[in-house]
Amino acid sequence: MAHVVVPEAESILDKEFKVLDKGFVRLVDYLGGDARIVQAARVSYGEGTKSYREDAALIDYLLRHEHTSPFEQVILTFHVKLPIFVARQWIRHRTARVNEMSSRYSILPDEFYVPATEDLAVQSKDNKQGRSDEPLSATEAEEVLGVIQQAQDQAYDGYSALIERNLARELARIVLPVSVYTQWYWQIDLHNLFRFFQLRLDPHAQKEIRLYAQTMLEITRAVAPMAVDSFERNLLHGVRFSGPEMEELRRRLSALQDSTGQLGQSGESVQALQPEVGHLKGKDLERFEEKLKTGRQL
């Protein structure tokens, strides 16, 4: 196979894309692109690259039918600057290779994440791990930001004092909060990167990590635009139904067709049609209704 060079990716190599107040993402390197996926998929046939439309159709077929190995041929390496609390969510994606800045060797700079005023909200009543959609008032937000910044200043003052006393850096760092920024190199293949995007672009993911994922998705689009388009169409904006959910969907469509003589002529929505007579109950029914409304996997 010839070395795959993607001009759009070459043009953004080492360019910083700002995320949050002090963070960024850079594409450090990449291996392959759409052409590599196509070449890998066609290797058993001994056929080369065909037309753009045929290549896009092949990539779409591979993704829809979960033929994942050709996507693993494409590898991206990112340099990311991010708060530690985001890194601790991120590191759960164990299919990547990571090299993180070490605070045992280096003195961490005085850089902490401070949320924007509009991102400050109370705890959600129905989501134990997230914030609500209700922002704080201007007065409350100002007070909260004051508390956050004061705590960060005090923590870094303590850290600096311990460093000046020549305490081991691996011990001095323990006074720092999870809002302090770290950096890492993060290398991952395209198949597992798409899985990262599926989870971290979901509306239920924490906003801060979603912003990183959104930036990285656009960077990835420069490397493999056909693959990203297919991912968005089939996975990111698609949804899977369980067996019972499919039965409920068939029941509603059948009832709607029987009541109108022709599907879609009554003005009734599939979501609203006789949910009480189906087999889904409670949380199962709520999840099904949410899928119909948003198209997101829950």
pLDDT tens per residue, range 70-98: 999 999 999 999 999 999 999 999 999 99
pLDDT digits (tens, 9 = 90+) for 116-139: 999 999 998 877 788 988 889 999
- Going from N- to C-terminal start, the domains of the chain cover 7-106+179-236, 123-175, 243-294
Among residues 36, 173, 200, 252, the one annotated as catalytic is 200
pLDDT digits (tens, 9 = 90+) for 135-158: 899 999 999 999 999 999 999 999
Neighbours of 164 (CB within 10 A): 9
Neighbours of 58 (CB within 10 A): 21
42 is catalytic: no
Q: Residue 194 in 3-state DSSP?
A: helix
d(CA 247, CA 254): 10
Element (H, E) at 226: helix 225-231
List CB contacts of 141: < 8 A, sequence separation 6 or more. 117, 120, 135
List CB contacts of 123: < 8 A, sequence separation 6 or more. 131, 132
The answer to whether the CB of 50 falls within 8 A of the CB of 34 is no
7-106+179-236 under CATH 3.30.1360.170, yes or no: yes
Q: Which of 35-49, 51-65, 209-223 reaches the highest mean pLDDT?
A: 209-223
pLDDT score recorded for residue 65? 93
Closest to 86 measured CA to CA, from 176, 194, 181: 181
pTM: 0.86
| Strands (DSSP E) found in 84-119 | 97-100
Model confidence at 295: pLDDT above 80: no
